A = this chain, B = another copy of it.
Amino acid sequence: MDTRATGPKLQFDPDPTKYRHWTLAVEGEVARLTMKVQPFGGANSEVELKSNSYDLSVDIELADAIQRLRFQHPSVKCCVITSAHDKIFCAGANIYMLAASTHPFKVNFCKYTNETRLAIEDASQHSGIRFLAACNGATAGGGYELALACDEIVLIDDGSSTVALPEVPLLGVLPGTGGLTRVVDKRKVRRDLADAFSTLAEGVKGKRAVEWGLVDAVVPRSKFADTIAQRSRDLAAKAPQVDRGPGIQLDPIGEYKHVTLKVDEKARVAELTVRAPQGDVPKNAAEALPKGAQGWALRMARELDHALLRLRFEHENVGLVIVRTEGDRAKAHAVGELLAGPEKDSWILRETRLLLARALRRMDVTARSFFAVVDQKSCFAGPLFELLLACDRSYVLDADGVEVWPGPLSAGALPGWNGLSRLETRFLGDPQRAQKVLAAGKEGPIDAAAANRLGLATVFADDIDFVEELRVAIEERASLSPDALTGMEQNFRFAGPETLATKIFGRLSAWQNWIFIRPNATGERGALTMYGKPERPQFDYRRT
């Protein structure tokens, strides 16, 4: 990886008191998240982040702030996202940073920023927090894509500020954070106007921006602050009334307690182990609350999420992850019963479940092969059962004492990006089989032979063959083309219905993946390479 581009090791759980690029101010029901990117405060201090352009360090703080709104600021029902600059809302991802990055980093950068924007929409849909983009100046590229992730977009009407997606005309790449999809699929802008808009480097402003459906309102500078205040109150008033608070602190993750990530760089294989809770499992929300961020499920989900990010950004050569679980199946299962039980809509349980769902969806779009190993030690029970379903394959040992234990969480409480439960996706051809697995789990742990009959084992082998079969499978997988595997897994993980998210990850990012590596973008005279230079890019004009 190009270290000029990625700089020092990234810290994925920043300290909110030390944000460099954002300010989060909470006043009653309304929060204000203000962007002021420190030009030389990014991950790589040699890249100047001008005009509120962002790098990964900026987006990590944004993701962290959204997370903390849910857990630490229960009063908030509307969050205004705006800029501290006078004439610039946000210029999008920093182009020089992007142009200097490796291909894997570019793709993973876009993936992460997409997940952050989808987390904004998730908070709006499930946590009762509406988002208002107060675009108080030029709103371009990733800046407009950030606005698109909000529930409403208000643009200042100052004669010059526009919303724009200048990637195609200026950089020869696509808007990489869902812009094309959200324009036509979320805001449902007419496709010919979307075409005109996305090829207009200077963007669209004023009345036309409203007419085309690109923003919800344009407001002169003199009335901007008042309008934003009024609209944020309106949004707060209309936000879904869900249980909130009292709020807990999210402490730094530090050393993992429930997760181990062991990496064999030479074999290009990692082992991800997740352990069941050890102490008492809370029986209800009142018992869960005092545990705060130390509660097992919450902390495990945070560690899992963190480990996946480390895999993506720190171990790019690792192509295969062996997923193991350990510990007391009854306790893990009990956590699942709690998170999907009668008090599931209470704040702490709901947010824990939503966080776990996001971590699992992070796994679904991580470009690594995942093989689950189910043996005597393993604990695929309750929330951990979902790990088995998230894997590309499962190796189940045919032996006494090997059990899995699906619980009510797997009945739809942890949906994948396609909106279905992972059991539904797995048994797309025969939905009754998903029901049978759930019914069996209700009776108690499912032994290995039954798990195999129920369709939970890709490979089912006895003591004599198991180790060798797994060893060969690991070697084979690690030898295959990493590109072909990424493409194949993307197609298999998202069978069934399509959503905004599956379009973004499965389609838009695939086109971008291609375009990023084409000489027309990143070659010596490609548009991304030539950005900011006086010469024009040179294209191979063959259409494909």
Binding site for B on A (CB under 8 A): 1, 102-104, 107-108, 167-169, 171-174, 180-181, 184-185, 187-196, 198-199, 213, 268, 316-319, 367-368, 391-394, 425-430, 455, 458-459, 476-477, 480-493, 495-498, 502-503, 506-508, 510-515, 517-518, 520-521, 527, 537, 539-544
Contacts and interface: CB of A to CB of B under 8 A. Distances in A.
A107 B544 CA distance: 6
B394 A192 contact: yes
Given A184-B492, A191-B392, A506-B507, A484 B543 contact: no
Given A510-B514, A520-B483, A195 B541 contact: no
B428 A184 contact: yes
A213 B181 CA distance: 34
Nearest to A172: B481
B541 A199 contact: no
A142 B415 CA distance: 33
Contact of A510 (B194, B195, B507, B521): B507
Nearest to A183: B492
A515 B429 contact: no
A492 B515 CA distance: 16
Contacts of A476: 169, 199
Contacts of A488: 168, 174, 180, 195, 198-199
Contacts of A168: 480-481, 484-485, 488
A367 B492 contact: no
A319 B194 contact: no
A473 B104 CA distance: 35
A491 B167 contact: no
A103 B495 contact: no
Contact of A487 (B169, B425, B498, B515): B515
A107 B518 CA distance: 14
A537 B481 CA distance: 9
Given A184-B491, A508-B491, A481 B527 contact: yes
Contact of A268 (B429, B458, B514, B541): B541
Contact of A483 (B181, B198, B503, B514): B514
Given A180-B488, A428-B188, A429-B213, A539 B393 contact: no
B426 A190 contact: yes
B393 A104 contact: no
Contacts of A428: 184-185, 188
19 contacts: A107-B544, A172-B480, A172-B481, A173-B484, A174-B488, A188-B428, A191-B425, A192-B394, A192-B458, A319-B543, A367-B543, A481-B527, A482-B520, A482-B539, A483-B544, A484-B515, A491-B503, A506-B507, A517-B518
